[in-house]
Amino acid sequence: MSHHQLQETIEHFFAAGSSAADDSRAMQAFCALRDALETGAVRAASPDPHAPTGWRVNAWVKQGILLGFRLGALREWPVAGLSFIDKHTYPVRLFAPGDGVRIVPGGSSIRAGAYLARGVVCMPPMYINAGAYVDEGTMVDSHALVGSCAQIGKRVHLSAAAQIGGVLEPVNASPVIIEDDVLVGGNCGVYEGAIVRKGAVLAAGTVLTRGTPVFDVGKGEVLRATSEMPLIIPENAVVVPGARAVTKGKGQEWGLSLYAAVIVKYRDDKTDLSATLEDLLR
């Protein structure tokens, strides 16, 4: 069926609630959506120059992913001598050498419904959830997570223990988006629909959420999420974990500080994309 027909079918059965399980067409539609997600033909969010953030959320795709959980029944999945119990609609995704994806041995898992482009490298152990989109040449390092519906661009480096949160509900909420050529340092966390623009660098330990203020010391601005817009890290920004002083009450009396992210500089045309994080922070 066409994408338009698939969208209408998914929306119909999602609205039907639990009664969708009684109609075999619901499972057929979900399986078609899962296949389309795995080939990259559909995405939970798509680039859109006319959208305020530059991205369009495809709510119906997220509805379809949720529909798969409703339709699924618990099943045992024996993998490499281990036993896992999960919904039968979301098995482990398997790859072949012709897919051009490197999955290094050692306990990684990629769930059905995730898209991995050619040239993606997965270092163990790591996990990529259903609905995620990981584009060409990206490295997903050890202990990294790519959450459900997260969108990861080309040539991104997700360093060890980086956590890219998933945003599946509410269905109209923007997922976390990491654009092309971003370097995410070790133990970073990007959550709650934050958008990291092209070429940005997140130093190790940086955490970004809807409630995180980001202080741009060069431009003298404070970046925050609003009720209508997620937190957006500008293109080529170099962000480090910092602190801001508490200026009143007991917090001030005790000399306390709160976490804040700080933009200390911007990459320029002279900065090679393969430069190390340590070089960029000097």
* pLDDT, tens digit, 9 for 90 and up, residues 211-225: 999 999 999 999 999
Average pLDDT over residues 233-240: 97
Summarize pLDDT for 33-90 with one digit per residue, the tens: 999 999 999 999 999 999 999 999 999 999 999 999 999 999 998 877 778 899 999 9
pLDDT at 241 exceeding the cut of 90: yes
Inter-residue contact 242 to 257 (CB < 8 Å): no
- Domain residue ranges of the chain, discontinuous segments joined by +: 3-71
pLDDT at 226 exceeding the cut of 90: yes
Q: Strands 133-134 and 214-216, how do they pair?
A: unpaired
User: Of 105-109, 113-117, 122-126, 156-160, which gets the smallest average pLDDT?
Assistant: 105-109
Average pLDDT over residues 117-125: 97
3-71 has which CATH code?
1.10.166.10
Summarize pLDDT for 151-198 with one digit per residue, the tens: 999 999 999 999 999 888 888 889 999 999 999 999 999 999 999 999
Q: Which residues contact 265 (CB under 8 A, 6 or more apart)?
A: 218, 238, 280
Q: Which pLDDT does position 275 carry in this prediction?
A: 58
Q: At residue 85, what are phi and psi to the nearest 5 degrees?
A: -120, 120
Give the Cα separation of 183 and 141 in Å (integer): 12
Encoding tokens for residue 204? 């190790």
Average pLDDT over residues 230-243: 97
| Percentage of the chain modeled with pLDDT above 70 | 95
| Percentage of the chain modeled with pLDDT above 90 | 85
Q: What is the model's pTM?
A: 0.94
Average model confidence (pLDDT) across the chain? 93
Q: Which residues contact 17 (CB under 8 A, 6 or more apart)?
A: 70
Average pLDDT over residues 116-131: 97
Average pLDDT over residues 236-257: 95
pLDDT at 276 exceeding the cut of 70: no
Model confidence at 239, in pLDDT bands (50, 70, 90)? Answer: very high
